[in-house]
Amino acid sequence: MAARIIDGKALSRRLREEFRGRVGKLATQGVVPGLAVILVGDNPASRVYVGNKVKACAECGVASFHHALPAEASEAEVLACIDRLNADPAVNGILVQLPLPPHIDVRKVLEAIAVDKDVDGFHLYNVGGLVVGNTIFPPCTPYGVQLLLETTGTEVAGKNVVVVGASNIVGKPMALMLLQKEATVTVCHAKTRDLAQHTILADILIVAAGKPGLIVPRMVKEGAIVIDVGINRLADGRIVGDVDFAGVKEKASWITPVPGGVGPMTVTMLIENTLRSTERAHHLRKDDDYQDCEAPAVKAHADN
Ligand code: NAD
How many angstroms is it from 211 CA to the middle of ligand 1?
A: 7
* Catalytic residue check, 55: no
How many angstroms is it from 35 CA to the middle of ligand 1?
A: 26
Range of the domain at 105: 29-114
Residues 155, 103 share a domain: no
Question: What total number of domains does the chain contain?
Answer: 2
Q: Residue 244: what pLDDT?
A: 98
Classify residue 119: in a domain, yes or no. no
As a whole-number percent, the residues of the chain with pLDDT over 70 amount to 94
Residue 264 beta carbon below 6 angstroms from any ligand 1 atom: no
Residues 158, 48 share a domain: no
Residues 145, 255 share a domain: yes
How many angstroms is it from 23 CA to the middle of ligand 1?
A: 33
pTM: 0.95
Residues 147, 63 share a domain: no
pLDDT per residue over 72-104, tens digit each?
999 999 999 999 999 999 999 999 999 999 999
What region does 33 belong to: left with phi over 0, alpha with psi -120 to 50, or beta? beta
Classify residue 59: in a domain, yes or no. yes
pLDDT reading at 302 higher than 50: no
* Catalytic residue check, 120: yes
pLDDT per residue over 148-178, tens digit each?
999 999 999 999 999 999 999 999 999 999 9
pLDDT per residue over 210-238, tens digit each?
999 999 999 999 999 999 999 999 999 99
From 9, 229, 239, mutation site for ligand 1 pocket: most ligand atoms within 8 A of C-beta: 229
Residue 188 beta carbon below 6 angstroms from any ligand 1 atom: yes
Classify residue 62: in a domain, yes or no. yes
* Catalytic residue check, 97: yes
Closest Cα to atom 15 of ligand 1: 190
Classify residue 170: in a domain, yes or no. yes
Residue 239 beta carbon below 6 angstroms from any ligand 1 atom: no
CATH number assigned to the domain comprising residue 246: 3.40.50.720
Residues 144, 256 share a domain: yes
DSSP the chain: -PPEE--HHHHHHHHHHHHHHHHHHHHTTT---EEEEEEES--HHHHHHHHHHHHHHHHHT-EEEEEEE-TT--HHHHHHHHHHHHH-TT--EEEEPSPPPTTS-HHHHHHHS-GGG-TT--SHHHHHHHHHT--SS--HHHHHHHHHHHHTT---TT-EEEEE---TTTHHHHHHHHHHTT-EEEEE-TT-S-HHHHHTT-SEEEE-S--TT-B-GGGS-TT-EEEE---EE-TTS-EE-SB-HHHHTTT-SEE--SSSSHHHHHHHHHHHHHHHHHHHHTTSS-GGGGGGGPPPP---GGG-
Residues 105, 150 share a domain: no
Pairwise CA distance, residues 85 & 110, whole Å:
13
Q: Residue 296: what pLDDT?
A: 67
Residues 101, 163 share a domain: no
Residues 40, 90 share a domain: yes
Which of these, 218, 289, 214, 292, lies nearest to 258 by C-alpha position? Answer: 214
